[in-house]
């Protein structure tokens, strides 16, 4: 018996009967030989962590574009917070933590520079539509390269969890694994709470401005609110699991109403507020001009995107190229392409001469 088989046997013996077993995975699009040590979900997690798209998350906006100081969230720190919250919920429900971690680390690799501003403008510029969760699937299955092959060839359960992590409506389709559903609620718990924290740090919000009806239920501090949401999600879902073969991972009605209310409050006062809107307008201006530029000069893109242009069309390649950029790289390209700069050599530096007085 290999070590992987030992791990898979432990999953069968120890995990919740409603958990997703690595040994029962629906598999990959391209079949691979099983690893001697790692389960399929452990391999998926490792491939995501070692990908370029994952590394670029450290320079992608969460809410505020290039804020001063080192303590504001980026898309990468958001991803790590989602991962930690999700693994706590998953442990409380006795689910597959390797699958949870793989989905958590991969869920936002398709996010654009400048967060939802980039998502919005790319959606407007394309002939089809653009959604960051769908683009994450695009990155994981086409743009990233693994073993001289397009895509990371991840397990079906991971891709499904990534695709369905977004949105927060009762009628929306959810992941078919409980682990994927854990990521969906963990994403909401993470970003609502840490965006409140960042907004207070930025001086755009005070605790006193947050409706008391939500704080009385969830707690006054960042830590208290996360603890309340995580704990209630675990206990309420365990109750659902006891009476249903197809339960939902969610907090109880009162707690969920408070989370929903805080989320709506943040949309009204921060996400659609004057500061974020001013940043959004500038960011969309940059992306729109880069989009037009690379459609005119596709040879300026990296070779992998030129290949995508040849195989799938120029617009698809340009969207892939821009959506993968970090904020800083996007701004640097814009400056290099569009901001005038002198091409006249500095004679004083060349000849050691002083300027005329």
CATH 1.10.3210.10 assigned to domain 47-276? The reply is yes
Over residues 266-286, the mean pLDDT reads 90
Q: Rounded distance, CA 234 to CA 243, Å?
A: 15
The domain ranges of the chain are 47-276
Helix (H) or strand (E) holding 296: helix 274-296
pLDDT in tens, 2-24: 999 999 999 999 999 999 999 99
Q: Rounded distance, CA 272 to CA 276, Å?
A: 6
Q: Rounded distance, CA 233 to CA 214, Å?
A: 16
The per-residue pLDDT for 341 is 78
pLDDT above 70: percentage of residues in the chain: 96
Over residues 204-211, the mean pLDDT reads 96
Q: Report which of 39, 63, 74, 161 is spatially closest to residue 117, judged by C-alpha positions.
A: 63
pTM as predicted: 0.94
SS3 144: coil
Over residues 148-160, the mean pLDDT reads 96
CB-based contacts of 287, cutoff 8 Å, min separation 6: 112, 113, 114, 117, 118, 121, 122, 125, 322, 330
The per-residue pLDDT for 291 is 98
The per-residue pLDDT for 349 is 61
pLDDT at 356 over 80: no
DSSP state of 185: H
Q: Which of 1-15, 167-181, 316-330 has the lowest mean pLDDT?
A: 167-181
Q: Which of 138-147, 207-216, 342-351 has the lowest mean pLDDT?
A: 342-351
CA distances from 190 to 135, 207, 234, 342 (A): 21, 18, 15, 46
SS3 80: helix
End-to-end CA distance of the chain: 85
SS3 17: coil
pLDDT in tens, 53-68: 999 999 998 888 767 7
Q: Rounded distance, CA 287 to CA 18, Å?
A: 44
Neighbours of 127 (CB within 10 A): 7
Over residues 101-112, the mean pLDDT reads 97
Alpha carbons within 13 A on the beta-carbon side of 41: 27
- Tell me the pLDDT band of 191, cut-offs 50, 70 and 90: very high
Q: Report which of 122, 145, 112 is spatially closest to residue 304, judged by C-alpha positions.
A: 145
β-partners of residue 145 are 150
Q: Rounded distance, CA 90 to CA 178, Å?
A: 9
């Amino acid at each position: 018996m290999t070590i992987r088989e030992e791990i898979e046997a432990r999953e069968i013996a120890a995990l919740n009967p409603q958990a997703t077993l690595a040994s029962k995975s629906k598999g990959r699009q391209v079949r691979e030989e099983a690893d001697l040590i790692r389960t399929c979900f452990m391999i998926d997690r490792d491939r995501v962590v070692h990908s370029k798209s994952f590394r670029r998350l450290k320079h992608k906006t969460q809410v505020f574009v290039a804020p001063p100081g080192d303590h504001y969230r980026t898309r990468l720190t958001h991803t790590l917070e989602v991962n930690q919250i999700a693994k706590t919920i998953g442990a409380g429900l006795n689910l597959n933590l390797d699958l949870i971690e793989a989905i958590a680390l991969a869920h936002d690799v398709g996010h654009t520079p400048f967060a939802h501003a980039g998502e919005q403008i790319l959606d407007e510029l394309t002939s089809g539509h653009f959604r960051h969760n769908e683009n994450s699937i695009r990155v994981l299955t086409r743009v990233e390269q693994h073993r001289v092959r397009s895509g990371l060839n991840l397990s079906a359960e991971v891709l499904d969890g990534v695709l369905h992590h977004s949105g927060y409506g009762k009628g929306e389709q959810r992941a078919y694994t409980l682990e994927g559903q854990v990521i969906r609620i963990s994403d909401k718990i993470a970003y609502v709470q840490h965006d409140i924290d960042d907004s207070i740090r930025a001086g755009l919000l005070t605790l006193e401005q947050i409706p008391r009806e939500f704080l009385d239920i969830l707690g006054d501090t960042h830590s208290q609110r996360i603890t309340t949401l995580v704990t209630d999600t675990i206990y309420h879902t365990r109750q659902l699991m006891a009476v249903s073969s197809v339960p939902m991972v969610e907090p109880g009605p009162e707690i969920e109403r408070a989370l929903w209310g805080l989320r709506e409050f943040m949309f009204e006062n921060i996400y659609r507020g004057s500061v974020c809107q001013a940043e959004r307008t500038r960011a969309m201006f940059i992306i729109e001009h880069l989009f037009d530029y690379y459609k005119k000069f596709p040879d300026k893109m990296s070779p992998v995107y030129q290949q995508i242009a040849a195989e799938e069309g120029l617009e698809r390649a340009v969207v892939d190229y821009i959506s993968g950029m970090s904020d800083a790289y996007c701004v640097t390209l814009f400056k290099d392409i569009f901001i005038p700069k002198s091409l006249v050599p500095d004679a004083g530096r060349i000849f050691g001469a002083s300027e005329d007085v």
